[in-house]
Amino acid sequence: MLTSGDRLRTLLKDCHLSPSDLALHRNVLPQHVNNWIRRGVPVARLDDIAELLCVHTRWLRTGLGPKYRFPPPRPPYDPQDEFYDQDDLDPTGNPTVLAASSADDVLLAFYRPLNRQLIAVEHRHLRLPRAAFSRLLINPAHCMALIMPDGGMAPRLPLGAALAIDRSLTTPVSGQPYAFLRDGELCVRTIYPMTCDALRLRADNLGEFGDELVSAEEPIEILGWVFWWASLQPARPDGRRDEKE
């Protein structure tokens, strides 16, 4: 059976107030408000609490009759409310949502090459919004994070950039960037499948890294498609440098 305490709990939630907020409004301890919620609002407090929360005293006491004395209170207006309402039709269609952090973010473990294989780096993760995975139809369980090992893809993927790799996509699609192990060394290049099962590995930084042609006999293990990357600017625009350098 619902009590006046249960109705008070619901009212506080509807008004976006915590027990501590109500305690501050009425100059009592938060424990007093918690006691009202558990045991019911004291009779001496009914009129005061009902007036504060714009409800009828009878409704707060018994649950009978009209609830609100005036139109129901609304939370403070936030322009972002309208922005996010637009995402109800397609929650992955908004680029801001795809970049926003939330409690539902995915943590991808970082890996590094060692002795011709990849090993996980303990306690190091790349945090990405789950909406980004949904947008690309990628299963986070199939993904990992790497660090760009050289400047071959600069400036798009500079040395040291954090990369996210989908390991389920290992069949090269022409013109897409892939991470792979070549003779045990990590490499990232744009791959173009050629005839006779050969692969052309193309660098963005053609001034220092030329195209390479890899035959079907050469040892190359494609790790996956590079679908996300981020990097730090190489320097400040005002020329300032770390004093420790």
Residue range 160-180: average pLDDT? Answer: 95
Contact criterion met (CB below 8 Å) for 162 and 229: yes
Residues 223-238, mean pLDDT to the nearest whole number = 89
**Is the pLDDT reported for residue 90 higher than 60?**
no
Give me the sign of the Cα torsion angle 145, 149, 153, 159.
Answer: positive
Token pair 């780096």: residue: 121
What is the C-alpha separation between 235 and 98, in angstroms, rounded?
27
User: How far is residue 86's CA from residue 107's CA, in Å, rounded to a whole number?
Assistant: 27
d(CA 140, CA 162): 16
- Sequence-distant (6+) residues with CB within 8 A of 93 are 87, 135
Number of helices and strands in the chain (H, E): 8, 9
Residue 222 has pLDDT above 90, yes or no: yes
Which amino acid is it at 105? D
Structure confidence at residue 171 as a pLDDT band (50, 70, 90): very high
Residue-wise pLDDT for 15-42, tens only, equals 778 888 888 888 889 899 999 999 999 9
- Say yes or no: do domains 4-62 and 106-230 share a fold: no
Judge whether residue 221 has pLDDT over 70: yes
Q: Residue 82 — very low, low, confident or very high, per pLDDT cuts 50/70/90?
A: very low
- pLDDT, position 173: 93
CA-based nearest residue to 140, from 129, 156, 155, 148: 129
Q: What is the distance between the alpha carbons of residues 17 and 153, in angstroms, rounded to a whole number?
A: 52
- What is 106-230's CATH number? 2.10.109.10
Angle, vertex CA 54, rays to CA 49 and CA 57, nearest 5: 55
Q: What is the enclosing helix (H) or strand (E) of 32?
A: helix 30-39
* Domain edges within the chain: 4-62, 106-230
pLDDT more than 90, % of the chain: 43
Count of other CB atoms within 10 angstroms of residue 47:
12
Tens of pLDDT along 104-147? 789 999 999 888 888 999 889 999 998 889 889 999 999 999 99
Cβ neighbors of 136 (< 8 A, separation 6 or more) are 166, 227
Highest mean pLDDT among 42-56, 155-169, 185-199, 210-224 belongs to: 155-169
What is the CATH architecture of 4-62?
Orthogonal Bundle (1.10)
Whole-angstrom Cα distance, residue 33 to residue 18?
10
Rounded average pLDDT over 187-212: 89
